[in-house]
Amino acid sequence: MQIQIIAVGKIKEDYLKRGIDDYKKRLSKYTGVKVIEVAEENIAARPDYEVKAKEARKLLKHLAERDSWYVVVLDRQGIEVSSENLAQRIESLMVAGRSNIAFVIGGTLGLDDSLVKSADLQLSLSKLTFPHQITRFILLEQLYRSFKIIRGEPYHY
């Protein structure tokens, strides 16, 4: 299985970098994880819809072979699932031979509607709003938790 996290923006805070690196290392026991960062657009320079459209084009470049990827966008309007349900969904994809999952995280303004609508799954991590940098950390922790659940290993109680 391969997991790709395609995100707008770079992680600037050292504490988040360390946490993200820790979960990427932990996940490497179970799956390949690649994080791809695309540059944020200047939100003051253009209307919101133009910023989101431009960021979407950058994100889509990394999904060129989209048919081979199950695409999950993180969107506050998406469905909320439990950790157990996320693990079940990942396991079902593995069993079905869908071994490439791409998670897409937008920038400050979120994702362009066209990208959200074209995804295989729209997922919300919470009704709360998180900065996109923290979203990446939370997602990696939940992916690690999912693999621990799938394997029946202690971590999730």
Which residue from 76, 38, 74 is spatially nearest to 55, judged by alpha carbons? Answer: 38
Residue 109: DSSP 8-state: T
Please write down the HEC assignment for all residues of 31-89: CEEEEEEECCCCCCCCCHHHHHHHHHHHHHHCCCCHHHCEEEEEEEEEEECCHHHHHHH
Summarised one tens digit per residue, pLDDT across range 79-126 is 999 999 999 999 999 999 888 999 999 999 999 999 999 999 999 999
Q: How confident is the model at residue 143 (pLDDT cuts 50, 70, 90)?
A: very high
Domain extents in the chain: 2-151
Amino acid identity of residue 149, one-letter, is: I
Q: Greater confidence, 157 or 60?
A: 60
Which residue from 4, 6, 72, 3 is spatially nearest to 38, judged by alpha carbons? Answer: 6
Parallel, antiparallel, or unpaired for β 70-80 and 32-38?
A: unpaired
Identify the pLDDT of residue 8: 97
Amino acid identity of residue 141, one-letter, is: E
Residue 131 backbone phi and psi in degrees, to 5: -60, 145
- Classify domain 2-151 at the CATH superfamily level: SPOUT methyltransferase, trefoil knot domain (3.40.1280.10)
Percent of the chain at pLDDT > 70 equals: 98
Identify the pLDDT of residue 64: 73
Mean pLDDT over residues 116-139, rounded? 94
Identify the pLDDT of residue 66: 66
Summarised one tens digit per residue, pLDDT across range 26-55 is 999 999 999 999 999 999 999 999 999 999
Contact 17, 25 (CB under 8 A): no
Mean pLDDT over residues 128-157, rounded? 93
pTM: 0.94
Mean pLDDT over residues 66-88, rounded? 93
